[in-house]
Amino acid sequence: MDEEDRGWTELMALIEGLDPDDAAREGYFEEGWSAKDALAHIGTWLAEAGVAIQRISSGTYRREELDIDALNAAFYAAMADVPLSDVRTQAVAARSRMLHEWGTLASPNPEADWWVRKSGPDHYAEHVPRLRSWVEELGNGRAG
């Protein structure tokens, strides 16, 4: 939980340090993503984790093969035109729901733990270093 909280706090501090124009500027990721797109990507995976954990709790979860590339493409298409303020709200709400669902489990569950780790601390660790560099590049006027 501490690792999740530290990663989330750094992610949000980096995003909050950007004005909306810089947050929407392409270049964070080779494929043209912006920092806003990265937050939307993380937020949609947090939402997916919340749904999976709720299904685990209710006994309706079936481990299925995830087509991560297809889901990433669908999530990007759904969130690409969403304003930063809404992306931020969605990510915060998705994280809250995921953590709530995880906290309501009657007993520890390896599947739920996997979802929390995969969409939370592991995912933050995958994106925060590049986001940190991107914010620095923007601050030094080298981006764009």
CATH code for the domain in which residue 106 is found? 1.20.120.450
pTM of the model: 0.92
Do the Cβ atoms of 11 and 88 come closer than 8 Å?
no
Q: Could you tell me if residue 144 is inside a domain?
A: no
Encode pLDDT of 56-90 as tens digits. 999 999 888 788 899 999 999 999 999 999 999 99
Do the Cβ atoms of 135 and 15 come closer than 8 Å?
no
Q: Could you tell me if residue 121 is inside a domain?
A: yes
Q: Give percent of the chain with pLDDT exceeding 70.
A: 97
Q: Could you tell me if residue 112 is inside a domain?
A: yes
Do the Cβ atoms of 101 and 60 come closer than 8 Å?
no
Q: Could you tell me if residue 119 is inside a domain?
A: yes
Instruction: Report helix angle 2-16 to 121-139, nearest 10.
Output: 30
Q: Could you tell me if residue 88 is inside a domain?
A: yes
Range of the structural domain that residue 10 is part of: 2-139
Residue with tokens 């920092």: 35
Q: Could you tell me if residue 125 is inside a domain?
A: yes
DSSP 106: S
Comparing 13-17, 18-22, 67-71, 137-141, which segment has the lowest mean pLDDT?
A: 137-141
Q: Could you tell me if residue 58 is inside a domain?
A: yes
10 vs 20: CA distance, rounded Å: 18
Q: Could you tell me if residue 55 is inside a domain?
A: yes
Q: What total of structural domains would you count in the chain?
A: 1
What is the average pLDDT value for the chain, to the nearest integer?
A: 93
The answer on pLDDT for 12 being more than 90 is: yes
